[in-house]
Structure 1
């Protein structure tokens, strides 16, 4: 369906010309993006001609998919108003802002939490129809503002009397204030402790079952139901810093889980808000951790140079602040990006520095709880991926053996990813039997978790095995992997 607006949509026509997208090309891109979100769309070049020449506005998610398709070609976010579709069904570019003001930052984050829940329950919202696909340029302003000022001067908040501002539905009042019956008037340390415990539980579930597991998917619900009312209540500067830190951890986790399930647009918005909350918390290492997560996403999406920049931003602000183990992880993330950029020397330097920092770490160091996962085995696993990207199979095998030396039920997803990397190394070394054996174990692990990223690793392995497609071992592995590849991520 579509509805008319007055006259031709000259804005859309102009941007399409700028992007070099034909009518048929745009229709194809929109249909493909819709399919990725579970939508069946059948637009063609005639549909696009009507949007441009007659000013017809498609309904539902289509305007936002149009913006996403054009953004993917231009390499930057494309707001609806730029293409003359701002008066379509409202879905603001929620979560992309990095406000300077703390109050505005609270509103930006809580707006994201509310809309995300609508998306999960209703099949729309941020998961399907928000404007703009993943665009690495959206990280430029958040990273620069965080580098300039990684901490706010004060975050104390005095909320209005909730009994006076409560609206007729008993939900929220002025300034988005929470329900007076359910939200505390003043936040205390015990409230923050509950959020931190929720974050620790979520990290364990995510590592063991993947970002798509139903237990992991409770994180957005926790942000909306538990964290948002606290952010909108009253708190001292001391409690507020702790509250922002705990909420930043949960928000980064929501982003990581979205990333793991292939929801790149949602992950990007969560990461931006997590970085802004870390700034309000005056927690520079946590902000660096969020930047490292942004770097991994940018690198995974093919923007290795930007991934290097984001990792180096995390490093630069944390010199003299973060623990040795934390600095090691940041250098490791930089190495991942350098490898993807095919900068072998820079990757080696970063890996050596990461290993050096890790060797300097000691039991009893005040490492943050969110870094519990990082061990020498994790360092070896990422080093193996670096050498895989640099096409050095001997080094991949060496580090993969170390990474797999102590498999644990606590980090099931990581174990599965390491097995795939091991299989690739064996294949590139000419050991087809060993590659298929490791691949079979990886498929078994991948079948126990809900992780689109792990599935994508398996898919890549099968692609590499295509030249050996008639080999019985490869045929068997492909059959074992078939249920995994056809199942919803």
Structure 2
């Protein structure tokens, strides 16, 4: 574990001082980040002292975990050279670029899919992405978003190669990828991003999409191909987000946005931005979440359908709620509802927005009011969200049930909260989703003042077993 030695690493010591992290604190953060990636690490303050004073260089992914730990504290990416570990494997930088040139964009996406997927762990939550150890940084979205806003569509994407061995790509190839994305999207909605079949999406990107992108195709076929691969990359990012692998999700989202630009699909680019917005908001960057949602809204005025615009405003509302701004949240919710009411069956909605309906609006509105600490509103909207069966959206149903349990608890009805909590546990047990379990953890914390009550003790024991 110690690796090779050299002179004292003064850069690392200086960065620890700037970040205000002790040796023991860094060791703990590195161990925690490793555990999230399926790695068993047992570093302590002595290990860190060796890295700093004796220049010992840890092996494998550990240098990237060190950078991630420091970057997480500073709130920005920390390159390896800044901490004196610049000779480590640069793989974690993959996927963060948003190239201006289409050929470079193809290389950026396919390099991410191939290298990232080279180290798959066993089936289950998040190990598909454990080789990417960089820290999530909302600042990494700045350049991609600004370039997309300036130029949301590439001019021409035809790719004509003279090599006779080069694969000629047709509409059927692009359609096959689109169908794969649709199947995976519905599977993810049912069982969560950590289900073993979620691995089919990154495998499809590596084994099917990458060879097609490097083939030969007309401009029309190329647009369809970039559209399908953008959808797949966004979905891979959403699955990574759902299992708590935010750094990998960020890379997939950035590449999905770049591919949407090559597809000249502005609404799809907006959908990727909305996904980025939800992630940023969830990670505690509500102001940036607002900016990302508004970027999607501004570029799609008079372009996207009413249903699509409604969803973008809903993500804006989620970010305003996390920021604690009840007035702006209410305005965004009103716009989302108005756009949704304007939508008609004959509208040419993109297929990926089919999930957004009145029930989904109510569920997200409930979460907004939960964040704003208005339990009466939460109860009203959760009742609406839970009024119909959610057979195809098991993960979403689990989230709604936990939010409903929180609303009952915050309203002072402990018995109803526990009853709803038991229902929630039944559903959360059926999905592989770190997000669902985070909601359960939040509910557990809220139950703590009532831990002496018998019904609470039983429910809490079940919840702890589920999230441990």
Match of 1:480 among 459, 462, 468: 462
Equivalence for 1:178: none
Say if 1:188 and 1:235, in contact at 8 Å, map to a contact too: yes
**2: CA distance between counterparts of 1:191 and 1:128?**
30
**2: CA distance between counterparts of 1:127 and 1:408?**
29
Shift of 1:88: 2.4
**2: CA distance between counterparts of 1:126 and 1:86?**
25
What TM-score, normalized to structure 1? 0.92
Q: In the TM superposition, what are the counterparts of 1:89-488 in structure 2 within 5 Å? A: 89-121=89-121, 127-159=129-161, 161=163, 163=165, 185-486=167-468
**1: CA distance between counterparts of 2:98 and 2:177?**
23
Q: Relative to structure 2, which stretch is displaced further, 152-161 or 387-396?
A: 152-161
Say if 1:79 and 1:131, in contact at 8 Å, map to a contact too: no
Shift of 1:474: 1.2
Shift of 1:162: 6.6
Instruction: State the secondary structure of the residue aligned to 2:418.
Output: helix
Equivalence for 1:11: 11
Equivalence for 2:45: 45
**1:228-254 deviation per Cα after TM superposition (whole angstroms, max 9, x unaligned):** 000011111111111000000000000
| Residue 125 to residue 476, structure 1, CA distance change in 2 (3 Å) | closer
**1: CA distance between counterparts of 2:316 and 2:358?**
17
**1:115-154 deviation per Cα after TM superposition (whole angstroms, max 9, x unaligned):** 2322324899973343421111111111111111111111
| Residue 38 to residue 363, structure 1, CA distance change in 2 (3 Å) | same
**1:201-243 deviation per Cα after TM superposition (whole angstroms, max 9, x unaligned):** 0011011111111222210001101100000111111111110
Shift of 1:352: 0.5
Say if 2:437 and 2:466, in contact at 8 Å, map to a contact too: yes
Equivalence for 1:73: 73
Say if 2:116 and 2:131, in contact at 8 Å, map to a contact too: no
Q: Relative to structure 2, which stretch is displaced further, 387-396 or 468-477?
A: 468-477
Shift of 1:32: 2.1
**1:156-215 deviation per Cα after TM superposition (whole angstroms, max 9, x unaligned):** 11246274xxxxxxxxxxxxxxxxxxxx61110000000010011001101111111122
**1: CA distance between counterparts of 2:373 and 2:425?**
23
**1: CA distance between counterparts of 2:208 and 2:159?**
17
Equivalence for 1:176: none
Instruction: State the secondary structure of the residue aligned to 2:3.
Output: strand
**2: CA distance between counterparts of 1:265 and 1:196?**
25
| Residue 464 to residue 125, structure 1, CA distance change in 2 (3 Å) | closer
Instruction: State the secondary structure of the residue aligned to 1:152.
Output: coil
| Residue 236 to residue 196, structure 1, CA distance change in 2 (3 Å) | same
**1:339-362 deviation per Cα after TM superposition (whole angstroms, max 9, x unaligned):** 000011000000001111111111
What TM-score, normalized to structure 2? 0.96
| Residue 480 to residue 26, structure 1, CA distance change in 2 (3 Å) | closer
Structure 1, unaligned runs of 5 or more: 164-183
Equivalence for 2:57: 57
**2: CA distance between counterparts of 1:411 and 1:58?**
43
**2: CA distance between counterparts of 1:46 and 1:455?**
34
C-alpha RMSD of matched pairs (Å): 1.7
Shift of 1:365: 0.2
Shift of 1:419: 0.8
**2: CA distance between counterparts of 1:216 and 1:45?**
37
Shift of 1:17: 2.6
**2: CA distance between counterparts of 1:162 and 1:43?**
54
| Residue 131 to residue 263, structure 1, CA distance change in 2 (3 Å) | closer
Q: Relative to structure 2, which stretch is displaced further, 229-238 or 209-218?
A: 209-218
**2: CA distance between counterparts of 1:220 and 1:114?**
9
Q: Relative to structure 2, which stretch is displaced further, 282-291 or 48-57?
A: 48-57
Instruction: State the secondary structure of the residue aligned to 1:4.
Output: coil
**1: CA distance between counterparts of 2:271 and 2:452?**
45
Instruction: State the secondary structure of the residue aligned to 2:155.
Output: coil
**1: CA distance between counterparts of 2:127 and 2:87?**
17
- Size of the aligned set, in residue pairs, is 466
**1: CA distance between counterparts of 2:18 and 2:127?**
28
| Residue 466 to residue 343, structure 1, CA distance change in 2 (3 Å) | same
